[in-house]
Amino acid sequence: MMTKFLMLLMLLGGSLMAGATLDAALIHTLANGESDEKIRAIQDLGALATPEAVLVLKSLSDDALFVDGEHVFYLNGDQAIDAVTGLALTPIPESSDNVVINNRVRSELNTALSSLKLFDPKPSVRRKAAEALLNDVSPDMLPVLTKAVAQETDAGIRELLLLAVAQINLGSPEASLRLSAVQALENSSSPNARNLLTILLDPAHEPVEAVRRAAQASLKSVDNRLALSDALARIFSGISLGSILMLAALGLAITYGVMGVINMAHGELLMVGAYATYVTQGWFRLHWPQALEGYVLAAIPVAFLSAALVGVILERTVIRWLYGRPLETLLATWGLSLGLIQCARLMFGAQNVELTNPSWMSGRVALPWGLSLPWNRIDIILFSLFVLALVWVLMNKTRLGLFVRAVTQNRAMAGCMGVPTGLIDTVAFGLGAGIAGLGGVALSQISNVGPDMGQGYIVDSFMVVVLGGVGQLAGAVWAALGLGILSKFLEGWVGAVIAKIILLVFVIIFIQRRPQGLFALKGRFVDN
């Protein structure tokens, strides 16, 4: 990233080199002066904000600025470029010292360099720099900022810069400047602006009545915007959590619906999916590194099949023999989950394994109202919608789905009508396991992949199934989203642990009131 940035600057610098020169005295102060003088030179160069100045500062920061008698130069490839003229020096000076700076100078240099990003040719870099500024702006940046505003062509970034200027102007001694700054900040959504405005409410700080009133009004609109963006961010992370819960619960809903069996090893099937993703990544790295970016896509079928395979094996060897004994199944599948965890630990080690997000899943996308959402979360929401659609089609539009639903509703009757219930059990279990494997792919992109990763999900996903009603896909979807959003909002108010406890208590109370879940199957049932 940094080197790319430097290269770009160099290219740009190269085209301008002939005309633009820097003040020789300034450069020599920078190279040979005392620390205080250096700092002043850095500030002056920063205020110039020309590409040449940036190059010089950048090389200084990389310890790549050299001094040799009267020449100050930096290296570009095997050329030595004179810092003053920007021309190549021939021959390359033989004896040279690099310019040494202490920490105080270096921190000043970093500030200057980061404010210089405001002049980067790439709008995305400028935007990021401007956004960073909003949360941490100091008055001595005013000249640089004014200059940046004047040069800025992108309206959105200009807006951000103006907000930053306004934040500085809040401290200005002139009441009229302060007033206009306060009014400009109405459109801000940074917590920093909010703090500054709050200070202005105090008559001890702000003697002018009109400014105080304006500050009050601006503060209100900032607060509203902050609250809105906060609420939106929460809803988003709630949906994101909900989509994970849904992926975990869909498979469970199928197996529990069909067989009335709680598969305590369901979380471990998620883990199998996640490790399958890890193995796929390793395979790509080894055999097909050009396509490494696409490993997640390749991992989807791999994870589905491996988890489904594990599921079918478990069903055929153990769970099949325990039908009609749900409590024993609970214990047996718990035992299986212990075995799977230990297998993973022996095969991949007890530590978490490392997965890298492909580039199209990393980074964030900025939206209005000060929202910025991470791509991997968005992708996972889309992915879970895709899985949901797939399951819906499978369950509602295919013959297999018809059979599965028939067995869910009335096993004996379905058997009488010729549905091969034993086979359907196996297939349904494999399907549920495979969906858990898909959930594992999603999880591998946002959380740690380790042997214990599945343990935390069994209670959560069972809550979703119970809340939604047994064997109800729609119920599972609504319950997952509802639980996700509710838990994110609760987390904001009372903290993560208490939120979790409240949710568990809520679900426990809910089951008391409506033991059949939100979306109960209509009909008459006989228990035991």
Which residues lie near other proteins (CB under 8 A)? 260, 262, 318, 321-322, 325-332, 334-339, 341-342, 345-346, 455, 459, 462-463, 466, 497, 500-501, 504-505, 507-509, 511-513, 515, 527-528
* CA atoms 74, 76, 77, 79: torsion sign: negative
CB neighbours of 330 closer than 8 A, spacing ≥ 6? Answer: 262, 264
Query: With respect to other proteins, which residue has the nearer C-beta, 168 or 463?
Result: 463
In the numeric block, which tokens belong to residue 253?
A: 């809903």
* CB 490 to other proteins: min, Å: 13
Query: Alpha-carbon distance 43 to 479, whole Å?
Result: 57
Query: With respect to other proteins, which residue has the nearer C-beta, 433 or 463?
Result: 463
Measure the CA angle with vertex 158, ends 156 and 159; round to 5°: 65
* CB 505 to other proteins: min, Å: 7
Contact assessment for residue 489 and residue 481, using Cβ atoms and an 8 Å cutoff: no
Query: With respect to other proteins, which residue has the nearer C-beta, 210 or 504?
Result: 504
Contact assessment for residue 40 and residue 136, using Cβ atoms and an 8 Å cutoff: no
Q: Decide: helix, strand or coil at residue 27.
A: helix
Query: With respect to other proteins, which residue has the nearer C-beta, 275 or 462?
Result: 462
* CB 210 to other proteins: min, Å: 46
In the numeric block, which tokens belong to residue 511?
A: 């089951």
Q: What are phi and psi of 519, to 5 degrees?
A: -115, 75
Measure the CA angle with vertex 73, ends 68 and 75; round to 5°: 120
| DSSP string of 328-397, one letter each residue | HHHHHHHHHHHHHHHHHHHHH-SSPBP-PPPGGGSSEEEETTTEEEEHHHHHHHHHHHHHHHHHHHHHHH
* CB 332 to other proteins: min, Å: 4
Query: With respect to other proteins, which residue has the nearer C-beta, 102 or 528?
Result: 528
* CB 385 to other proteins: min, Å: 28
* CB 7 to other proteins: min, Å: 50
* CB 318 to other proteins: min, Å: 6
In the numeric block, which tokens belong to residue 145?
A: 């900022």
Query: With respect to other proteins, which residue has the nearer C-beta, 466 or 477?
Result: 466
Neighbours of 23 (CB within 10 A): 14
Query: With respect to other proteins, which residue has the nearer C-beta, 130 or 310?
Result: 310
Query: With respect to other proteins, which residue has the nearer C-beta, 90 or 528?
Result: 528
* CB 457 to other proteins: min, Å: 12
Q: Is 15 exposed, middle or buried (0-12, 13-18, 19+ CB in 10 A)?
A: exposed
CB neighbours of 369 closer than 8 A, spacing ≥ 6? Answer: 189, 225, 228, 229, 232
For residue 311, give the nearest of 298, 299, 320 by alpha carbon: 320
Query: With respect to other proteins, which residue has the nearer C-beta, 133 or 332?
Result: 332
Measure the CA angle with vertex 432, ends 506 and 519; round to 5°: 40
Query: With respect to other proteins, which residue has the nearer C-beta, 209 or 527?
Result: 527
* CB 423 to other proteins: min, Å: 21
What is the Cα gyration radius of the chain? 31
Q: Which residues pair with 68 in a beta bridge?
A: 71
Query: Alpha-carbon distance 228 to 419, whole Å?
Result: 53
First-to-last C-alpha distance (Å) of the chain: 65
* CB 339 to other proteins: min, Å: 4
* CB 241 to other proteins: min, Å: 17
Query: With respect to other proteins, which residue has the nearer C-beta, 94 or 527?
Result: 527
Element (H, E) at 79: strand 79-82
* CB 354 to other proteins: min, Å: 23
* CB 264 to other proteins: min, Å: 8
Query: Alpha-carbon distance 238 to 206, whole Å?
Result: 41
